[in-house]
Structure 1
Amino acid sequence: MKSFIDRVDPELLPGLDFSEAFPPPTTIDELHSFRSKTTADTTYADCSGVTFQDRITDGLRLRVFTPAGAGPHPAIYWIHGGGMIAGSVDHDTPYCTVLSGETGAVVVAVDYRLSPEHPFPAPLDDVHAGLQWLFASAEVLSIDPHRVAVAGSSAGGGLAAGLTLLNRDNGGPRIAFQYLMYPMLDHTHTSNSSREFHDIPTWNRAHSQFAWQCYLGAGQPSPPIYAAPAAAEDLAALPPTLIQVGDLDLFRDEDINYATRLSNAGVPTELHVYPGAYHGYELNCPTSSLGAQTLTDRNRALTKALHPSC
Protein backbone atom coordinates (compact mmCIF):
# COMPACT_ATOMS: atom_id res chain seq x y z
CA MET A 1 0.00 0.00 0.00
CA LYS A 2 1.17 3.54 -0.73
CA SER A 3 2.31 5.72 2.15
CA PHE A 4 -0.03 8.28 3.68
CA ILE A 5 1.76 11.16 1.94
CA ASP A 6 1.60 9.43 -1.43
CA ARG A 7 -2.15 8.95 -1.01
CA VAL A 8 -2.88 12.60 -0.18
CA ASP A 9 -4.49 14.60 -2.99
CA PRO A 10 -1.66 16.80 -4.36
CA GLU A 11 -3.72 19.98 -3.87
CA LEU A 12 -4.02 19.16 -0.16
CA LEU A 13 -0.32 18.65 0.54
CA PRO A 14 0.30 22.32 1.53
CA GLY A 15 -2.33 21.93 4.25
CA LEU A 16 -0.13 19.46 6.09
CA ASP A 17 2.18 22.33 7.03
CA PHE A 18 -0.21 23.33 9.82
CA SER A 19 -0.12 19.87 11.41
CA GLU A 20 3.65 19.84 11.23
CA ALA A 21 3.91 23.32 12.77
CA PHE A 22 1.24 22.69 15.43
CA PRO A 23 1.08 18.95 16.13
CA PRO A 24 -1.95 17.93 18.21
CA PRO A 25 -1.13 17.13 21.84
CA THR A 26 -0.69 13.76 23.52
CA THR A 27 0.14 15.05 27.03
CA ILE A 28 -1.15 17.76 29.34
CA ASP A 29 2.01 19.84 28.88
CA GLU A 30 1.67 19.58 25.10
CA LEU A 31 -1.99 20.58 25.39
CA HIS A 32 -1.14 23.79 27.26
CA SER A 33 1.48 24.63 24.63
CA PHE A 34 -0.90 23.81 21.77
CA ARG A 35 -3.59 26.08 23.17
CA SER A 36 -1.17 28.96 23.62
CA LYS A 37 0.25 28.66 20.11
CA THR A 38 -2.96 28.20 18.13
CA THR A 39 -4.47 31.64 18.52
CA ALA A 40 -7.68 32.64 16.80
CA ASP A 41 -7.68 34.44 13.46
CA THR A 42 -9.01 37.97 14.05
CA THR A 43 -9.29 38.87 10.35
CA TYR A 44 -12.94 38.06 9.93
CA ALA A 45 -14.42 37.51 6.49
CA ASP A 46 -16.69 40.16 5.04
CA CYS A 47 -19.53 38.03 3.74
CA SER A 48 -22.61 39.65 2.24
CA GLY A 49 -23.54 41.78 5.22
CA VAL A 50 -23.33 39.08 7.89
CA THR A 51 -23.06 40.59 11.37
CA PHE A 52 -22.35 38.93 14.69
CA GLN A 53 -22.66 39.62 18.39
CA ASP A 54 -22.05 37.67 21.59
CA ARG A 55 -24.79 36.64 23.98
CA ILE A 56 -24.21 35.34 27.50
CA THR A 57 -26.68 33.02 29.21
CA ASP A 58 -25.90 31.59 32.65
CA GLY A 59 -22.19 32.11 31.99
CA LEU A 60 -22.29 30.38 28.60
CA ARG A 61 -21.08 32.45 25.63
CA LEU A 62 -22.83 32.10 22.28
CA ARG A 63 -21.90 34.04 19.16
CA VAL A 64 -24.83 34.83 16.89
CA PHE A 65 -24.18 35.42 13.18
CA THR A 66 -27.07 37.02 11.32
CA PRO A 67 -27.33 37.16 7.51
CA ALA A 68 -28.57 40.16 5.58
CA GLY A 69 -32.26 40.45 4.83
CA ALA A 70 -35.46 40.17 6.78
CA GLY A 71 -36.24 37.15 8.92
CA PRO A 72 -37.39 34.86 10.21
CA HIS A 73 -34.32 32.93 9.12
CA PRO A 74 -33.47 29.28 9.53
CA ALA A 75 -30.74 28.56 12.05
CA ILE A 76 -27.60 26.44 12.27
CA TYR A 77 -26.42 25.61 15.77
CA TRP A 78 -22.64 25.28 15.34
CA ILE A 79 -20.35 23.28 17.65
CA HIS A 80 -16.63 23.80 17.09
CA GLY A 81 -13.99 21.08 16.87
CA GLY A 82 -10.75 20.62 18.76
CA GLY A 83 -10.91 17.14 20.25
CA MET A 84 -13.05 18.38 23.18
CA ILE A 85 -9.76 19.86 24.48
CA ALA A 86 -9.16 22.95 22.31
CA GLY A 87 -10.89 25.40 19.98
CA SER A 88 -13.40 28.18 20.57
CA VAL A 89 -16.00 30.31 18.84
CA ASP A 90 -13.21 32.82 18.21
CA HIS A 91 -11.31 30.24 16.16
CA ASP A 92 -14.45 29.44 14.15
CA THR A 93 -15.69 33.00 13.59
CA PRO A 94 -14.39 33.25 9.99
CA TYR A 95 -15.95 29.85 9.20
CA CYS A 96 -19.31 30.74 10.78
CA THR A 97 -19.43 34.12 9.05
CA VAL A 98 -19.12 32.47 5.65
CA LEU A 99 -21.48 29.65 6.64
CA SER A 100 -24.18 32.18 7.57
CA GLY A 101 -23.74 34.14 4.36
CA GLU A 102 -23.71 31.09 2.08
CA THR A 103 -26.73 29.37 3.64
CA GLY A 104 -28.82 32.41 4.54
CA ALA A 105 -29.12 31.12 8.09
CA VAL A 106 -28.55 32.55 11.52
CA VAL A 107 -25.56 30.65 12.91
CA VAL A 108 -25.39 30.30 16.68
CA ALA A 109 -21.94 29.09 17.78
CA VAL A 110 -21.51 27.81 21.32
CA ASP A 111 -18.34 28.28 23.39
CA TYR A 112 -18.55 25.15 25.53
CA ARG A 113 -16.16 24.26 28.36
CA LEU A 114 -13.13 22.18 27.45
CA SER A 115 -11.62 19.00 28.86
CA PRO A 116 -9.72 17.85 30.87
CA GLU A 117 -10.58 20.79 33.12
CA HIS A 118 -14.24 20.09 32.40
CA PRO A 119 -14.76 16.45 31.37
CA PHE A 120 -18.04 14.87 30.27
CA PRO A 121 -20.82 15.77 30.83
CA ALA A 122 -19.80 19.46 31.08
CA PRO A 123 -19.24 20.07 27.31
CA LEU A 124 -22.47 18.28 26.43
CA ASP A 125 -24.35 20.13 29.18
CA ASP A 126 -23.15 23.40 27.66
CA VAL A 127 -24.14 22.58 24.10
CA HIS A 128 -27.50 21.33 25.34
CA ALA A 129 -28.08 24.55 27.28
CA GLY A 130 -27.11 26.59 24.24
CA LEU A 131 -29.58 24.75 22.02
CA GLN A 132 -32.36 25.30 24.57
CA TRP A 133 -31.45 29.01 24.62
CA LEU A 134 -31.63 29.14 20.81
CA PHE A 135 -35.17 27.76 20.74
CA ALA A 136 -36.26 29.95 23.65
CA SER A 137 -34.80 33.03 21.91
CA ALA A 138 -36.12 32.24 18.44
CA GLU A 139 -38.40 35.26 18.23
CA VAL A 140 -35.75 37.69 19.47
CA LEU A 141 -33.17 36.26 17.04
CA SER A 142 -35.68 36.23 14.16
CA ILE A 143 -35.29 32.46 13.80
CA ASP A 144 -37.88 30.03 12.47
CA PRO A 145 -37.84 27.30 15.16
CA HIS A 146 -39.08 24.74 12.65
CA ARG A 147 -35.92 25.15 10.54
CA VAL A 148 -33.04 24.53 12.94
CA ALA A 149 -30.03 22.36 12.13
CA VAL A 150 -27.42 21.07 14.59
CA ALA A 151 -23.93 20.97 13.10
CA GLY A 152 -20.29 20.54 13.99
CA SER A 153 -16.92 19.25 12.86
CA SER A 154 -14.66 16.65 14.46
CA ALA A 155 -15.25 16.80 18.23
CA GLY A 156 -18.03 19.26 17.47
CA GLY A 157 -19.58 16.68 15.17
CA GLY A 158 -19.43 14.13 17.97
CA LEU A 159 -21.06 16.58 20.36
CA ALA A 160 -23.70 17.35 17.72
CA ALA A 161 -24.48 13.65 17.33
CA GLY A 162 -24.69 13.21 21.11
CA LEU A 163 -26.88 16.30 21.39
CA THR A 164 -29.40 15.08 18.82
CA LEU A 165 -29.63 11.75 20.67
CA LEU A 166 -30.16 13.57 23.97
CA ASN A 167 -32.70 15.93 22.42
CA ARG A 168 -34.63 12.99 20.97
CA ASP A 169 -34.63 11.04 24.23
CA ASN A 170 -35.70 14.10 26.25
CA GLY A 171 -38.55 14.91 23.87
CA GLY A 172 -36.94 18.22 22.90
CA PRO A 173 -37.90 20.48 19.99
CA ARG A 174 -37.74 18.96 16.54
CA ILE A 175 -34.35 19.39 14.86
CA ALA A 176 -34.67 19.70 11.10
CA PHE A 177 -31.20 18.43 10.13
CA GLN A 178 -27.82 17.39 11.49
CA TYR A 179 -24.55 18.10 9.70
CA LEU A 180 -21.60 16.03 10.93
CA MET A 181 -18.19 16.81 9.43
CA TYR A 182 -15.76 13.94 10.18
CA PRO A 183 -17.41 13.48 13.60
CA MET A 184 -15.56 12.02 16.60
CA LEU A 185 -17.94 9.25 17.68
CA ASP A 186 -16.13 6.16 18.96
CA HIS A 187 -13.91 6.06 22.06
CA THR A 188 -12.81 2.44 21.51
CA HIS A 189 -10.37 2.98 18.60
CA THR A 190 -11.17 -0.48 17.26
CA SER A 191 -11.91 0.45 13.65
CA ASN A 192 -9.57 -0.39 10.78
CA SER A 193 -8.94 3.28 10.02
CA SER A 194 -8.06 3.97 13.67
CA ARG A 195 -5.40 1.27 13.46
CA GLU A 196 -4.28 2.28 9.96
CA PHE A 197 -3.68 5.96 10.76
CA HIS A 198 -1.82 5.51 14.05
CA ASP A 199 1.19 7.70 13.21
CA ILE A 200 0.17 10.13 10.47
CA PRO A 201 1.04 13.86 10.84
CA THR A 202 -2.60 14.93 11.12
CA TRP A 203 -5.00 13.76 13.86
CA ASN A 204 -3.83 10.22 14.61
CA ARG A 205 -4.53 7.40 17.07
CA ALA A 206 -2.32 8.79 19.87
CA HIS A 207 -3.91 12.25 19.58
CA SER A 208 -7.39 10.75 19.63
CA GLN A 209 -6.74 8.46 22.58
CA PHE A 210 -5.41 11.37 24.62
CA ALA A 211 -8.42 13.55 23.74
CA TRP A 212 -10.91 10.84 24.68
CA GLN A 213 -9.08 10.25 27.99
CA CYS A 214 -9.35 13.97 28.74
CA TYR A 215 -13.05 14.04 27.82
CA LEU A 216 -14.19 10.88 29.59
CA GLY A 217 -11.93 11.13 32.63
CA ALA A 218 -11.13 8.08 34.70
CA GLY A 219 -13.36 5.07 35.26
CA GLN A 220 -15.69 5.22 32.25
CA PRO A 221 -14.92 2.10 30.16
CA SER A 222 -18.52 2.16 28.89
CA PRO A 223 -19.49 5.83 28.66
CA PRO A 224 -23.07 6.96 28.02
CA ILE A 225 -24.19 7.07 24.39
CA TYR A 226 -24.38 10.87 24.62
CA ALA A 227 -20.62 10.91 25.20
CA ALA A 228 -19.77 8.29 22.57
CA PRO A 229 -22.63 8.20 20.04
CA ALA A 230 -21.18 5.20 18.19
CA ALA A 231 -22.32 3.10 21.17
CA ALA A 232 -25.99 4.04 20.69
CA GLU A 233 -28.07 1.02 19.72
CA ASP A 234 -31.20 2.95 18.69
CA LEU A 235 -30.67 5.57 15.98
CA ALA A 236 -34.29 5.82 14.88
CA ALA A 237 -36.19 9.12 14.79
CA LEU A 238 -33.06 11.25 14.43
CA PRO A 239 -32.92 14.20 12.01
CA PRO A 240 -31.95 13.78 8.35
CA THR A 241 -28.16 13.76 8.27
CA LEU A 242 -25.15 14.63 6.14
CA ILE A 243 -21.82 13.05 7.12
CA GLN A 244 -18.59 14.01 5.35
CA VAL A 245 -15.16 12.47 5.90
CA GLY A 246 -11.90 11.95 4.02
CA ASP A 247 -10.65 8.48 3.18
CA LEU A 248 -7.36 9.28 4.98
CA ASP A 249 -9.10 10.27 8.22
CA LEU A 250 -8.77 8.33 11.47
CA PHE A 251 -12.55 8.67 11.90
CA ARG A 252 -13.35 7.30 8.42
CA ASP A 253 -14.67 3.88 9.39
CA GLU A 254 -16.60 4.92 12.49
CA ASP A 255 -18.28 7.64 10.42
CA ILE A 256 -19.14 5.26 7.57
CA ASN A 257 -20.54 2.80 10.11
CA TYR A 258 -22.62 5.48 11.81
CA ALA A 259 -24.04 6.66 8.48
CA THR A 260 -24.92 3.09 7.53
CA ARG A 261 -26.67 2.50 10.84
CA LEU A 262 -28.59 5.76 10.56
CA SER A 263 -29.81 4.72 7.13
CA ASN A 264 -30.73 1.26 8.39
CA ALA A 265 -32.74 2.94 11.16
CA GLY A 266 -34.80 4.83 8.59
CA VAL A 267 -33.02 8.17 8.92
CA PRO A 268 -32.50 9.93 5.56
CA THR A 269 -28.71 9.96 5.41
CA GLU A 270 -26.17 11.28 2.93
CA LEU A 271 -22.55 10.15 3.20
CA HIS A 272 -19.55 11.55 1.33
CA VAL A 273 -16.10 9.97 1.57
CA TYR A 274 -13.56 12.18 -0.20
CA PRO A 275 -10.54 10.41 -1.74
CA GLY A 276 -7.10 11.70 -0.81
CA ALA A 277 -8.47 13.83 2.04
CA TYR A 278 -7.20 13.92 5.63
CA HIS A 279 -8.67 15.36 8.83
CA GLY A 280 -9.18 19.12 8.51
CA TYR A 281 -8.46 19.32 4.78
CA GLU A 282 -11.34 21.64 3.88
CA LEU A 283 -10.19 24.09 6.56
CA ASN A 284 -6.52 24.00 5.59
CA CYS A 285 -7.17 24.07 1.83
CA PRO A 286 -10.67 25.53 1.28
CA THR A 287 -9.96 26.61 -2.31
CA SER A 288 -8.63 23.21 -3.40
CA SER A 289 -10.92 21.17 -5.63
CA LEU A 290 -11.80 18.77 -2.80
CA GLY A 291 -12.11 21.56 -0.24
CA ALA A 292 -14.41 23.60 -2.47
CA GLN A 293 -16.48 20.53 -3.37
CA THR A 294 -16.89 19.61 0.29
CA LEU A 295 -18.14 23.08 1.21
CA THR A 296 -20.43 23.13 -1.82
CA ASP A 297 -21.90 19.77 -0.79
CA ARG A 298 -22.38 21.11 2.74
CA ASN A 299 -24.14 24.26 1.54
CA ARG A 300 -26.39 22.33 -0.83
CA ALA A 301 -27.53 19.91 1.87
CA LEU A 302 -28.14 22.62 4.46
CA THR A 303 -29.95 24.85 1.97
CA LYS A 304 -32.20 21.98 0.86
CA ALA A 305 -33.05 21.13 4.48
CA LEU A 306 -33.51 24.69 5.75
CA HIS A 307 -34.98 26.37 2.67
CA PRO A 308 -37.29 23.60 1.42
CA SER A 309 -39.16 25.93 -0.95
CA CYS A 310 -35.97 26.80 -2.86
Structure 2
Amino acid sequence: MLVGTSAGGGLAAALSLYTRGRAEPSPHAQFLVCPILDDRDKAISTTQFSERDIWARSLNAACWKMYLQDRYGTCDVEPYAAPARATDFSQLPPNYIDIRSAEVFRDEVVQYASNIWAPGGDAELYVWPGGWHNFDLLLPTASLSMAAQQAITNWVHHLFARQ
Protein backbone atom coordinates (compact mmCIF):
# COMPACT_ATOMS: atom_id res chain seq x y z
CA MET A 1 0.00 0.00 0.00
CA LEU A 2 1.31 3.44 -0.91
CA VAL A 3 0.67 5.86 1.95
CA GLY A 4 1.26 9.58 2.07
CA THR A 5 0.14 12.70 3.88
CA SER A 6 0.35 16.26 2.54
CA ALA A 7 3.30 16.50 0.11
CA GLY A 8 3.93 12.81 0.76
CA GLY A 9 0.38 12.16 -0.46
CA GLY A 10 1.25 13.83 -3.74
CA LEU A 11 4.38 11.70 -4.02
CA ALA A 12 2.41 8.51 -3.27
CA ALA A 13 -0.16 9.45 -5.94
CA ALA A 14 2.64 10.12 -8.43
CA LEU A 15 4.28 6.77 -7.68
CA SER A 16 0.96 5.01 -8.16
CA LEU A 17 0.57 6.65 -11.57
CA TYR A 18 4.16 5.75 -12.45
CA THR A 19 3.95 2.07 -11.50
CA ARG A 20 0.58 1.49 -13.15
CA GLY A 21 0.86 -1.04 -15.98
CA ARG A 22 4.60 -1.57 -15.56
CA ALA A 23 6.31 -4.92 -15.00
CA GLU A 24 7.52 -3.75 -11.59
CA PRO A 25 5.53 -4.60 -8.49
CA SER A 26 2.44 -2.43 -8.36
CA PRO A 27 0.73 -1.22 -5.19
CA HIS A 28 -2.46 -2.97 -4.12
CA ALA A 29 -3.89 0.22 -2.61
CA GLN A 30 -3.28 3.93 -2.26
CA PHE A 31 -3.92 5.83 0.96
CA LEU A 32 -3.79 9.63 0.65
CA VAL A 33 -4.42 12.11 3.46
CA CYS A 34 -4.53 15.82 2.57
CA PRO A 35 -2.52 15.13 -0.59
CA ILE A 36 -1.02 18.10 -2.39
CA LEU A 37 -1.60 17.27 -6.05
CA ASP A 38 -1.75 20.37 -8.26
CA ASP A 39 0.74 23.20 -8.72
CA ARG A 40 -1.56 25.31 -10.91
CA ASP A 41 -3.31 27.07 -8.00
CA LYS A 42 -6.59 27.45 -9.91
CA ALA A 43 -9.14 25.67 -7.70
CA ILE A 44 -11.74 27.77 -5.89
CA SER A 45 -10.58 26.49 -2.51
CA THR A 46 -7.13 28.03 -3.02
CA THR A 47 -8.66 31.48 -2.59
CA GLN A 48 -11.08 30.71 0.23
CA PHE A 49 -8.72 30.49 3.15
CA SER A 50 -6.76 33.30 4.75
CA GLU A 51 -3.05 33.56 5.26
CA ARG A 52 -3.67 32.81 8.95
CA ASP A 53 -4.77 29.26 8.18
CA ILE A 54 -2.43 26.37 8.97
CA TRP A 55 -1.67 25.77 5.29
CA ALA A 56 -2.14 29.07 3.46
CA ARG A 57 -2.17 29.67 -0.28
CA SER A 58 1.17 31.52 -0.17
CA LEU A 59 2.83 28.62 1.68
CA ASN A 60 1.40 26.16 -0.82
CA ALA A 61 2.75 28.21 -3.74
CA ALA A 62 6.15 28.61 -2.08
CA CYS A 63 6.46 24.85 -1.63
CA TRP A 64 5.51 24.13 -5.24
CA LYS A 65 8.04 26.74 -6.42
CA MET A 66 10.81 25.12 -4.36
CA TYR A 67 9.89 21.70 -5.71
CA LEU A 68 9.35 22.54 -9.39
CA GLN A 69 11.69 25.54 -9.72
CA ASP A 70 11.28 27.20 -13.14
CA ARG A 71 8.65 24.66 -14.23
CA TYR A 72 6.17 25.83 -11.55
CA GLY A 73 2.82 26.62 -13.15
CA THR A 74 4.05 25.97 -16.70
CA CYS A 75 3.02 23.32 -19.21
CA ASP A 76 6.33 21.57 -18.50
CA VAL A 77 5.12 19.79 -15.36
CA GLU A 78 4.62 16.04 -15.67
CA PRO A 79 1.96 14.11 -13.73
CA TYR A 80 4.75 12.35 -11.84
CA ALA A 81 5.56 15.74 -10.30
CA ALA A 82 1.97 17.02 -9.94
CA PRO A 83 -0.47 14.07 -10.12
CA ALA A 84 -3.52 16.26 -10.81
CA ARG A 85 -2.03 16.91 -14.24
CA ALA A 86 -2.50 13.29 -15.30
CA THR A 87 -4.94 12.67 -18.14
CA ASP A 88 -5.33 8.93 -17.61
CA PHE A 89 -6.61 7.75 -14.23
CA SER A 90 -7.44 4.20 -15.29
CA GLN A 91 -5.96 1.06 -13.74
CA LEU A 92 -5.11 2.64 -10.39
CA PRO A 93 -5.38 0.55 -7.25
CA PRO A 94 -8.21 1.13 -4.74
CA ASN A 95 -7.89 4.53 -3.09
CA TYR A 96 -8.67 5.99 0.30
CA ILE A 97 -8.60 9.77 -0.11
CA ASP A 98 -9.03 12.07 2.87
CA ILE A 99 -9.31 15.86 2.66
CA ARG A 100 -10.68 18.54 4.92
CA SER A 101 -13.30 21.11 3.94
CA ALA A 102 -11.25 24.07 5.26
CA GLU A 103 -8.20 23.23 3.19
CA VAL A 104 -6.49 25.14 0.38
CA PHE A 105 -6.28 22.06 -1.85
CA ARG A 106 -9.73 20.63 -1.05
CA ASP A 107 -11.10 21.08 -4.57
CA GLU A 108 -8.10 19.60 -6.36
CA VAL A 109 -8.39 16.50 -4.17
CA VAL A 110 -12.13 16.16 -4.87
CA GLN A 111 -11.36 16.52 -8.58
CA TYR A 112 -8.64 13.87 -8.31
CA ALA A 113 -11.16 11.42 -6.82
CA SER A 114 -13.62 12.30 -9.60
CA ASN A 115 -10.90 11.61 -12.17
CA ILE A 116 -10.38 8.15 -10.66
CA TRP A 117 -14.13 7.45 -10.72
CA ALA A 118 -14.53 8.58 -14.35
CA PRO A 119 -12.95 5.44 -15.92
CA GLY A 120 -14.58 3.22 -13.28
CA GLY A 121 -11.82 3.35 -10.65
CA ASP A 122 -12.21 2.70 -6.94
CA ALA A 123 -11.86 5.73 -4.67
CA GLU A 124 -13.34 6.26 -1.25
CA LEU A 125 -13.35 10.02 -0.62
CA TYR A 126 -13.83 11.69 2.74
CA VAL A 127 -14.21 15.46 3.03
CA TRP A 128 -14.20 16.21 6.76
CA PRO A 129 -16.50 19.18 7.49
CA GLY A 130 -14.72 22.05 9.21
CA GLY A 131 -11.45 20.14 9.26
CA TRP A 132 -8.16 21.79 8.35
CA HIS A 133 -4.71 20.50 7.40
CA ASN A 134 -3.67 17.79 9.89
CA PHE A 135 -6.45 18.59 12.38
CA ASP A 136 -6.54 14.93 13.43
CA LEU A 137 -2.85 15.03 14.42
CA LEU A 138 -3.20 18.29 16.34
CA LEU A 139 -6.46 17.33 18.09
CA PRO A 140 -6.50 13.52 18.15
CA THR A 141 -9.27 13.21 20.76
CA ALA A 142 -11.74 15.55 19.02
CA SER A 143 -14.85 13.74 17.80
CA LEU A 144 -14.10 14.61 14.16
CA SER A 145 -10.55 13.27 14.52
CA MET A 146 -11.81 10.04 16.01
CA ALA A 147 -14.36 9.71 13.19
CA ALA A 148 -11.56 10.19 10.65
CA GLN A 149 -9.45 7.51 12.35
CA GLN A 150 -12.43 5.13 12.42
CA ALA A 151 -13.04 5.69 8.70
CA ILE A 152 -9.42 4.75 8.01
CA THR A 153 -9.68 1.62 10.13
CA ASN A 154 -12.91 0.60 8.40
CA TRP A 155 -11.40 1.10 4.95
CA VAL A 156 -8.29 -0.93 5.76
CA HIS A 157 -10.41 -3.77 7.18
CA HIS A 158 -12.62 -3.68 4.09
CA LEU A 159 -9.58 -3.63 1.81
CA PHE A 160 -8.02 -6.67 3.46
CA ALA A 161 -11.33 -8.52 3.44
CA ARG A 162 -11.46 -8.10 -0.37
CA GLN A 163 -7.91 -9.39 -0.90
Structure 1 position 297, deviation (Å)? 0.7
Find the partner of 2:111 among 247, 250, 257: 257
Q: 1:198 to 1:172 in 2, by over 3 A?
A: farther
Structure 1 position 302, deviation (Å)? 1.7
For 1:176 and 1:303, the matched residues in 2 are separated by 14
SS at 1:266 equivalent: coil
For 2:71 and 2:132, the matched residues in 1 are separated by 32
Amino acid at match of 2:108: E
Give the gaps of 5 or more residues in structure 1. Answer: 1-148
Amino acid at match of 1:235: F
Structure 1 position 270, deviation (Å)? 0.8
For 1:306 and 1:174, the matched residues in 2 are separated by 16
Which runs of structure 1 show a deviation greater than 6 angstroms over 4 or more consecutive aligned residues?
A: none
1:138-171 CA distance string (max 9 Å, x none): xxxxxxxxxxx11111111100000000111533
Structure 1 position 299, deviation (Å)? 1.6
Find the partner of 1:204 among 35, 46, 56: 56
The residue that corresponds to 1:271 in the other structure is 125
Amino acid at match of 1:225: P
Q: 1:223 to 1:198 in 2, by over 3 A?
A: farther
Task: Please tell me whether the aligned partners of residues 150 and 177 of structure 1 are also in contact (alpha carbons under 8 angstroms).
Answer: yes
Task: Please tell me whether the aligned partners of residues 136 and 144 of structure 2 are also in contact (alpha carbons under 8 angstroms).
Answer: yes
When structure 1 is superposed on structure 2, of 171-180 and 225-234 the one drifting more is 171-180
Q: 1:219 to 1:153 in 2, by over 3 A?
A: closer
For 1:217 and 1:286, the matched residues in 2 are separated by 35
| Structure with more of its chain in strand, by fraction | 1
Task: Please tell me whether the aligned partners of residues 16 and 26 of structure 2 are also in contact (alpha carbons under 8 angstroms).
Answer: no
Give the gaps of 5 or more residues in structure 2. Answer: none
Count of matched residue positions in the alignment of Structure 1 and Structure 2: 161
Higher relative contact order (CA 8 A, sep 6+): 2
1:258-299 CA distance string (max 9 Å, x none): 001101121111111111111110110111111011111112
SS at 1:260 equivalent: helix
SS at 2:20 equivalent: helix
Q: TM-score, normalised by structure 2?
A: 0.93
1:235-268 CA distance string (max 9 Å, x none): 0000011111110011110000000110112111
How many percent identity over aligned positions? 34
SS at 1:218 equivalent: helix
Q: Which structure 2 residues correspond to residues 47-62 of structure 1 after superposition, within 5 A?
A: none
Structure 1 position 172, deviation (Å)? 2.4
Q: TM-score, normalised by structure 1?
A: 0.50
1:115-157 CA distance string (max 9 Å, x none): xxxxxxxxxxxxxxxxxxxxxxxxxxxxxxxxxx111111111
When structure 1 is superposed on structure 2, of 294-303 and 213-222 the one drifting more is 213-222
The residue that corresponds to 1:246 in the other structure is 100
Structure 1 position 306, deviation (Å)? 2.9
Find the partner of 1:174 among 12, 26, 38: 26
Greater Rg by CA: 1
For 1:168 and 1:201, the matched residues in 2 are separated by 35
Find the partner of 2:147 among 274, 278, 293: 293
For 2:57 and 2:12, the matched residues in 1 are separated by 22
Find the partner of 2:156 among 302, 305, 309: 302
The residue that corresponds to 2:11 in the other structure is 159
SS at 2:70 equivalent: coil
For 1:212 and 1:299, the matched residues in 2 are separated by 31
Q: Alignment RMSD, CA only?
A: 1.4
For 2:2 and 2:142, the matched residues in 1 are separated by 26
Q: 2:29 aligned with 1:190, yes or no?
A: no
For 1:236 and 1:219, the matched residues in 2 are separated by 26
